[in-house]
Structure 1
Amino acid sequence: MPYVPLTWLAEHTAVPAGTTAADLAAALVRVGLEEERIVPPQVTGPLVVGRVLTVAKEEQKNGKTINYCRVDVGAHNDAPGTGKEPSHLPSRGIICGAHNFAEGDHVVVALPGAVLPGPFPIASRKTYGHVSDGMICSARELGIGEDHSGIIVLERMLGADAVPAPGTDALGLLGLGTEVLEINVTPDRGYCFAMRGVAREYSHATGAAFTDPGLPENLPGGGVPAATPDGFPVEVDDAAPLNRVPGCDRFVTRVVRGVDPAAPSPEWLQERLVQAGMRPISLAVDVTNYVMLDLGQPLHAYDLAKVAGPIVVRRAVAGETLTTLDDAERRLDPEDLLITDSPGGARGARVLGLAGVMGGADTEVSATTTDVLIEAAHFDPVSVARTARRHKLPTEAAKRFERGVDTALQAVAAQRVVDLLVAHGGGTADPAVSDLDTTTAPAPIVFDPAEATRLVGVAYPREQVLDLLRQIGCAVAPAADPATTADDDGADDATAALAVTPPTWRPDLVGPAHLVEEVARLAGYDEIPSVLPTAPAGHGLTTAQRQRRDVARALAEHGLTQVLSYPFIGDVHDKMGLPAEDPRRRALRLVNPLADDAPALRTSLLDTLLDTARRNVSRGAAELGVFEIGLVTRPDGLVAGQGPGVDRRPTDAELAALRAAVPAQPRHVAGVLAGPRVPDGVWGPGRPADWADAVEAARVVARTVGVDLGVRAGAQEPWHPGRCAELVLPGDGERVVGHAGELHPTACEALELPARTVAFEVDLDAVLAASPDEPLQVAPVSTFPPAKEDVALVVDAAVPAGEVLAAVREGAGELAEEVRLFDVFTGEQLGAGKKSLAFALRLRAADHTLTAEETAAVRTRIVKVAGQRVGAVLRS
């Protein structure tokens, strides 16, 4: 986000004395620039000018030479006889290890109580046999440069005549005591990534006078030189086969010769770069960064001796690579727009940089560079944005280009760099100028000023609308003749439509609605009344929505906690032990995953819910019960589709192709339980969660929506093969809609879950589809007493108890109010391979008291049906 120092802003617009960063934030928010934060001063506490009175060099045992200095700090001096060390001079004693200053020099002194960047608090301390009562500061220690070896000598920085008296506050002198505002800029307001744009917006908000530093007439020389035939040659070779417009439509080059490579950037420039969050590097680099921050035009400086003309702007060829300024080798994509040169006459053979993103290491300015080639170009925002994202290089230049840069700014920005290099580097500007310009002027927008009132709902006078459009730089003319400038006769006609031409720095203004937005913004959002619209009557929740909420509520009441997990997975299927042919392994892989270790979409809820359970267990959740309701992605049968254009409504065939390209996304419900299901207590020992709890939780889901799930033995990873149940919908074929049971020990170990963790997963969409359409009818409560009956049936040991229970219920018929399995017995008296299942029945009739004969008949039917269904016989 851009940083806005008040002192810098004041160069372009009239900022009243005493304005604070909070005042600035309040002004800018009125025009839509929100405050991100206010950055406090880098240095706090007493920082003053000091004059070195004496310097005593002392050799230490470790071979280091230190200076014990007496420094005059004006009103902050120790009183004679009261200092921390005896002295006949009113001063302070300070230890310093640097040697680039002498007696009589004026320096910057941090007194005890000051806090330097780091934070590094300054205190009085005894060292090297003396009391050091402060610190003499370098530029790096103050955060205004990278020079740590040398002390700031104010005579060299300011000139001998401009050095203030000892004791003068140095915070204001160095610009370190000021707050800096950081603002949040929306993507359509890229011009505010520069001090030029922020100053213009401050002028709109306050009415302060604004001087546009991006106009040629406001340059120190009063203009920019015209292009010459002998300028550094530049060619653009881009037919833009993958884009709608060429990647580069303007390219300005300038040359400055004889620059002193050791010349430092001026302190004021370094200070502003630091305030803007940048690190000073060298004069040539600092100047290009400063102009970019000031005007919004990214620039690049090349070592002229390393560049062979002509420069060719072209697309990359497959297989090309580039080592960028961050020393990373990057494999280039055919969509990447490149800056290349022509060593040995091979046109465009060597890659110099990624256009609008980052330069290459081969031609960067170094400590020996004396002749500098300056590039100021305009690149297609889409091309730059794609390249920056493709190579993960969100550079300051890319941030500006992808939001749109002023197409009239390149020559002005290049001239600003030339002037600064000549002034501070001792260079000479080459008279040759190259300006390849194929830009097109912004197209006029036919605009009816009454649209502002219609769309916003505020009665904006026509004159106010025209004035606000002119304020943002638009040219207003009668619509009949858009090429002419605005005139009072046409523009003030109360019924005439207008041709509004946006300024070159506002590429976001392309339609009437955008102009209306500007009118509303500058007139003040607070002028727009807050009218609460009347909400239309709705139909409430759909049946499916109500059922899903009922399911979630039922599971919560059953003792489980609902969670949400991200649907992205990595190698979880290996940990779950899924076979290679398992359809759940066919996952949809994302082109741009949020994490490299989770590039695919889950195919079951347990893919991500088990990791959520692991995280909870690792953080001490001994009694775990969690569930999730969410979508899974099944790409089977997926057909790749082509995205239609946005210039028309897609045809039915295109819509059908798009639907075929969308994978199936059924909604599932899943749960995981581990640890004690019933805790130990005064009532006795508890019990751990087991497979039956997982099965019961799944049946709770089905019963909530009026479906009775069948249960039978099954086998499905990651469940234990002997403790896994298939959950089936009753009916033809008994469709399997889920599984429940105990997880396999190997899966528990791989997933870092407690042993014997249990889980269930059910296709909720399938269960909801099987739920009855009619609402549940509550049966009348019978007032007649129940009859109780027990029946014990002997079956083969391999017969599931669930099948026997179903047979008992069928035999009991409508009289069965409750059927419950209460005992399982095996023993020699039953015979090998047999087991006895005892059921308790609660029978009741709606209209009379059951007789002994009726209950006996029910018992007989149960034995008969169970014998036919599962081969059961009555236990004698």
Structure 2
Amino acid sequence: MKTPLSWIKEYVDVPADVTTDELTHRLTLTGLKLEGIDSPGAQITGPLVIGRVLTKEPEPQKNGKTINWCTVDVGDANGTGEPQGIVCGAHNFEPGDLVVCVLPGGVLPGGFAISARKTYGHVSAGMICSARELGLGEDHDGIIVLPADAGQPGDDVRAVLGLDEEIIEFEINPDRAYALSLRGIAREVAVSVDGATNFRDPALRETPAADDQGHPVVVEDAAGCPVFVARTVSGFDPSVATPDHIVQRITAAGMRSVSLAVDITNYVMLETGRPIHGYDADKVQGALVVRRGRAGESMTTLDGARRTLSTEDLVIADDSGIIGLGGVMGGETTEMSETTTRILVESAHWDPVSMFRTGKRHKITSEAGKRNERGVDPTICEAAADRVVELLVEHGGGVAEPGVTVVGTPPPAPAITVAGDLAARVSGLDISEERAVEALRAVGCEVTGTGTLSVVPPPWRPDLTDPQDTTEEVIRLVGYDTIPSILPKAPGGRGLTRTQQLRRRAGRTMAGEGYVEVISFPFVGQADLDALGLDADDARRNLLGLSNPLNSEAPSMTTTLLPGLLKAAARNVGHGTTSVALFETATVTLPGGDGPAPILPVDRRPTDEELAALTGALPAQPLHLGLVACGEYEADGWWGEGRAVAWSDAVHAVRSVADAFGLTLEVRAASVAPWHPGRCAALLLDGDVVGHAGELHPRVCAGLGLPERSVAAEVDLDALIAAAVHLRPAPAFSSYPVAKEDVALLVGADVPAASVEAALREGAGELLESIRLFDVYTGDQVEAGHKSLAYALRFRATDRTLNEGEASAARDAAVARAAELTGAVQR
């Protein structure tokens, strides 16, 4: 919401010593966050003065254009006192008129520098300005003609045009629709700024009583439109220009000046917060009828779009059909134009939920809809309509017809029961009941009772519905900045849980492996799973849908971390990062549960049975660890050549986490999307598959924009945590020398190396300190269908030096066990 400071001060008196920064700081503390302070003339420098046109000589040009060669009195502003010669292409002025002149040396918005230059056969020393050239509006058909009493030639014109005006922009929360008006902002100033007094409510005015002479209105849906007011102005002159002060104010608020009638309705909406609509009364046929849309109906709105209506849309119709989407946008058939002389003014209160749904359904965003869908004061419809009529009569020469139509009554605000000391208990501040009552009355509430208060919110505050809302009002006026910052004391003997400690251990291990942690949105669509190449029957395609997704392309909770990780990696690659290594620990959502979740009561603690039913309805949400890497695993340099990321690096990263948990993962070949079928490993813990790792399929890399041979892994971290050794004993070290034994075993090509290693460990016994696969060979010296695996075995005792016979015996036992379990033959 943008508003000139002078407009705010028109409705509330602010002490002269309160600066704009102090005023906006205080409003920010109470909920109206400052977005910025600007000035229309901030980009204009140099001499900008009032000029009086002395002569105007039209000169037709060869291109068919006629320019005016003018002499303009600019007083002493040009340093000589002599008239200034200026070429002007506009024609909406005459000799004797006061105009706005920028002289050589001035700079207009956009960095447009003004100098004396020869054009159309004359030296033009300056420019006579239009509203667009000064950044005051879109009007470029003519220059600005000032009132006769604007000042003397040579006077600075900034104050006259409001160019020095400070424009304050506030960020308005959706629940504070009342602040989308000068009425609401001025009231906030009155209750927030020390010394601000005498709030003058622009919606507080005497209005004529309703009678039966007004335009007939029938409201068929009173719930959707509780109040409808109609007034008529006749004899309006559509050729009258909008007064400059109104144009300046609505332009400063970010709206465009259209015509006097439209500008007045917008002006009153900004002033009071109540959206107003005007019809060309001569185009309205019969009574106005407020109802819901009917199947098959359509209309053309003011933006020229043809819209098919829903049976949930609130519409306004006459004998000719639909003429408006109630509270959102009017219709083209009854639009006010340059020939409108009778104006039917509508001021109605609409159901906010219907307004929001209609605007979203038809993709219409309007200033009126923005206010109506957030909730507007229903009690000021008559006052707002009367204010519009007053301005149409004052500036447009019209006459207010005697008829006044008022249908319906504003819905009453329900009373809220709240403890008088609730604000003190919630905030920890010493807020007495008297101070709480004072604050609530300051924002417009009616408060009765002591100890237990009965609070009736004001009609412009539909956001106040429960005791916590009223408590927030009290605390924000007392001052959020006065709430002490007191940290709770941690109870002794507690700290991070086992799961939290292990999760951090996993993060530290991944960071140590060179991976950077990211956080992705947990939302996906079927297109994301298509990009992974998942089969139609893949369990990961069974998604839990969201009833109100943030993005229609990602309407479900994810069952895998890979879509978010791969997108993050592709984004980094697209920005020029050649080597990427990312990881994420987050939950995935697996649909299931025992039916819909029950709605639990809020006035008591749920029973154990109710909590069990709620827990049973929740889907499984296991914690996963995912990673992706591409580019170089080791950079090259003076120390030697680098190495590209390989599928084994993904396996190694996950096994490093398992090792940090005191676990050993078994690795087997697998074929699972989105991995390359020949470079994919299944990761097993105690015989159960807990994840997969390997090189991504080339089609997946190409589709997502990742480099070829990128790698990824995903593992069930909950399963690893459940089996983890939480407190690992310190390792024992032997001071005795190691005995080295190497063995080469011939096994079938389909036998996993991990199975052979496990058999060797089992057979070697307690003397085995480490085992490492250092060579895999297939070739002419190995029988077809077989492979040779070479292992380095290291034996050591804690109490003695092993002799050759002990090391050999342990080696032979290991080979024998491998032969028994895997069919291995020693080469």
Once the two structures are superposed, residues 1-45 of structure 1 have per-residue CA deviations (whole angstroms, 9 ceiling, x without a partner) of x22312222322234568653343245346543322102234633
* Letter aligned with residue 116 of structure 2: S
So what's the TM-score if we normalise by structure 1?
0.87
SS in 2 for 1:841: strand
Name 2:496's counterpart in structure 1: 541
User: Residues 503 and 793 (structure 1 numbering): CA distance in 2 closer, same or farther, change over 3 Å?
Assistant: closer
* Alignment equivalent of 1:762, drawn from 699, 715, 730: 715
Provide the C-alpha distance between the structure 1 equivalents of 2:433 and 2:761, rounded to a whole number of angstroms.
Answer: 82
- In the alignment, is residue 550 of structure 1 matched against residue 533 of structure 2? no
Q: Kindly indicate whether the alpha-carbon contact (under 8 Å) linking 2:12 and 2:196 is maintained by their aligned counterparts in 1.
A: no
* Alignment equivalent of 2:801, drawn from 838, 849, 854: 849
* Alignment equivalent of 2:317, drawn from 332, 336, 341: 341
SS in 1 for 2:658: helix
User: Residues 133 and 572 (structure 1 numbering): CA distance in 2 closer, same or farther, change over 3 Å?
Assistant: same
Name 1:249's counterpart in structure 2: 226
Name 1:362's counterpart in structure 2: 333
How far residue 354 of structure 1 moved from its aligned partner, in angstroms, is 3.1
Name 1:789's counterpart in structure 2: 741
How far residue 315 of structure 1 moved from its aligned partner, in angstroms, is 3.1
Name 1:397's counterpart in structure 2: 368
SS in 2 for 1:742: strand
Name 2:677's counterpart in structure 1: 721
Q: Kindly indicate whether the alpha-carbon contact (under 8 Å) linking 2:316 and 2:326 is maintained by their aligned counterparts in 1.
A: no
- In the alignment, is residue 709 of structure 1 matched against residue 634 of structure 2? no
SS in 1 for 2:236: coil
* Alignment equivalent of 1:149, drawn from 120, 141, 146: 141
Name 1:86's counterpart in structure 2: none
Once the two structures are superposed, residues 658-709 of structure 1 have per-residue CA deviations (whole angstroms, 9 ceiling, x without a partner) of 5455432222112222223233344443332222222111211211112211
Q: Kindly indicate whether the alpha-carbon contact (under 8 Å) linking 1:381 and 1:403 is maintained by their aligned counterparts in 2.
A: yes
Q: Kindly indicate whether the alpha-carbon contact (under 8 Å) linking 2:580 and 2:630 is maintained by their aligned counterparts in 1.
A: yes
Aligned positions of 1:284-683 closer than 5 A: 284-336=261-313, 338-343=314-319, 350-444=321-415, 456=427, 468-475=439-446, 479=449, 501-510=456-465, 514-525=469-480, 534-537=489-492, 539-570=494-525, 571-635=527-591, 639-641=595-597, 643=599, 658-659=614-615, 661-683=617-639
User: Residues 274 and 553 (structure 1 numbering): CA distance in 2 closer, same or farther, change over 3 Å?
Assistant: same
Q: Any stretches of 5+ residues in structure 2 without a counterpart? A: none
Provide the C-alpha distance between the structure 2 equivalents of 1:409 and 1:401, rounded to a whole number of angstroms.
Answer: 13
Name 1:488's counterpart in structure 2: none
Once the two structures are superposed, residues 178-197 of structure 1 have per-residue CA deviations (whole angstroms, 9 ceiling, x without a partner) of 11111233444332222122
Name 1:700's counterpart in structure 2: 656
* Letter aligned with residue 805 of structure 2: E
Provide the C-alpha distance between the structure 2 equivalents of 1:805 and 1:40, rounded to a whole number of angstroms.
Answer: 77
Provide the C-alpha distance between the structure 1 equivalents of 2:357 and 2:126, rounded to a whole number of angstroms.
Answer: 52
Q: Which moved more, 1:514-523 or 1:703-712?
A: 514-523
Name 1:72's counterpart in structure 2: 73
Provide the C-alpha distance between the structure 2 equivalents of 1:254 and 1:114, rounded to a whole number of angstroms.
Answer: 48
* Letter aligned with residue 124 of structure 1: A
User: Residues 563 and 509 (structure 1 numbering): CA distance in 2 closer, same or farther, change over 3 Å?
Assistant: closer
CA RMSD of aligned residues (A): 2.9
How far residue 612 of structure 1 moved from its aligned partner, in angstroms, is 1.8
Provide the C-alpha distance between the structure 2 equivalents of 1:861 and 1:436, rounded to a whole number of angstroms.
Answer: 99
Provide the C-alpha distance between the structure 2 equivalents of 1:868 and 1:585, rounded to a whole number of angstroms.
Answer: 42
Once the two structures are superposed, residues 232-257 of structure 1 have per-residue CA deviations (whole angstroms, 9 ceiling, x without a partner) of 22233237xxxxxx222211111112
Provide the C-alpha distance between the structure 2 equivalents of 1:625 and 1:498, rounded to a whole number of angstroms.
Answer: 59
So what's the TM-score if we normalise by structure 2?
0.92
Provide the C-alpha distance between the structure 1 equivalents of 2:795 and 2:253, rounded to a whole number of angstroms.
Answer: 83
Q: Kindly indicate whether the alpha-carbon contact (under 8 Å) linking 1:143 and 1:274 is maintained by their aligned counterparts in 2.
A: no
* Letter aligned with residue 99 of structure 2: V
Q: Kindly indicate whether the alpha-carbon contact (under 8 Å) linking 1:709 and 1:727 is maintained by their aligned counterparts in 2.
A: yes
Name 1:485's counterpart in structure 2: none
SS in 1 for 2:332: coil
Q: Which moved more, 1:430-439 or 1:350-359?
A: 350-359
Q: Which moved more, 1:315-324 or 1:611-620?
A: 315-324
Name 1:181's counterpart in structure 2: 168
SS in 2 for 1:74: coil
SS in 2 for 1:793: strand
User: Residues 656 and 259 (structure 1 numbering): CA distance in 2 closer, same or farther, change over 3 Å?
Assistant: farther
Q: Which moved more, 1:613-622 or 1:276-285?
A: 613-622
Q: Kindly indicate whether the alpha-carbon contact (under 8 Å) linking 2:15 and 2:196 is maintained by their aligned counterparts in 1.
A: no
How far residue 96 of structure 1 moved from its aligned partner, in angstroms, is 0.7
Aligned length: 822
Q: Kindly indicate whether the alpha-carbon contact (under 8 Å) linking 1:312 and 1:341 is maintained by their aligned counterparts in 2.
A: yes
- In the alignment, is residue 94 of structure 1 matched against residue 86 of structure 2? yes
Provide the C-alpha distance between the structure 2 equivalents of 1:379 and 1:815, rounded to a whole number of angstroms.
Answer: 84
Provide the C-alpha distance between the structure 2 equivalents of 1:191 and 1:427, rounded to a whole number of angstroms.
Answer: 31
* Letter aligned with residue 94 of structure 1: I
User: Residues 310 and 535 (structure 1 numbering): CA distance in 2 closer, same or farther, change over 3 Å?
Assistant: farther
Provide the C-alpha distance between the structure 1 equivalents of 2:116 and 2:521, rounded to a whole number of angstroms.
Answer: 54
* Alignment equivalent of 1:753, drawn from 706, 716, 719: 706
Q: Which moved more, 1:305-314 or 1:649-658?
A: 649-658
Aligned positions of 1:80-159 closer than 5 A: 90-118=82-110, 120-154=112-146, 158=147
Provide the C-alpha distance between the structure 2 equivalents of 1:675 and 1:450, rounded to a whole number of angstroms.
Answer: 63
Provide the C-alpha distance between the structure 2 equivalents of 1:189 and 1:365, rounded to a whole number of angstroms.
Answer: 31
User: Residues 462 and 586 (structure 1 numbering): CA distance in 2 closer, same or farther, change over 3 Å?
Assistant: closer
Q: Kindly indicate whether the alpha-carbon contact (under 8 Å) linking 2:579 and 2:632 is maintained by their aligned counterparts in 1.
A: yes
SS in 2 for 1:670: strand
How far residue 657 of structure 1 moved from its aligned partner, in angstroms, is 5.8
Provide the C-alpha distance between the structure 2 equivalents of 1:867 and 1:238, rounded to a whole number of angstroms.
Answer: 86
Name 1:258's counterpart in structure 2: 235
SS in 1 for 2:459: coil
Q: Which moved more, 1:581-590 or 1:277-286?
A: 581-590
* Alignment equivalent of 1:235, drawn from 214, 218, 223: 218
How far residue 547 of structure 1 moved from its aligned partner, in angstroms, is 1.0
User: Residues 366 and 640 (structure 1 numbering): CA distance in 2 closer, same or farther, change over 3 Å?
Assistant: farther
How far residue 226 of structure 1 moved from its aligned partner, in angstroms, is 0.5
User: Residues 841 and 469 (structure 1 numbering): CA distance in 2 closer, same or farther, change over 3 Å?
Assistant: closer
* Alignment equivalent of 2:787, drawn from 831, 835, 845: 835
Provide the C-alpha distance between the structure 2 equivalents of 1:153 and 1:208, rounded to a whole number of angstroms.
Answer: 37
How far residue 433 of structure 1 moved from its aligned partner, in angstroms, is 0.7
Once the two structures are superposed, residues 802-852 of structure 1 have per-residue CA deviations (whole angstroms, 9 ceiling, x without a partner) of 222222112112111011122233343433333222211110122222222
Name 2:202's counterpart in structure 1: 213
SS in 2 for 1:377: strand
* Letter aligned with residue 203 of structure 2: G
Name 1:226's counterpart in structure 2: 209
Q: Which moved more, 1:281-290 or 1:119-128?
A: 119-128
Identity %: 52
User: Residues 330 and 630 (structure 1 numbering): CA distance in 2 closer, same or farther, change over 3 Å?
Assistant: farther
Q: Any stretches of 5+ residues in structure 1 without a counterpart? A: 81-89, 217-222, 240-245, 345-349, 480-494
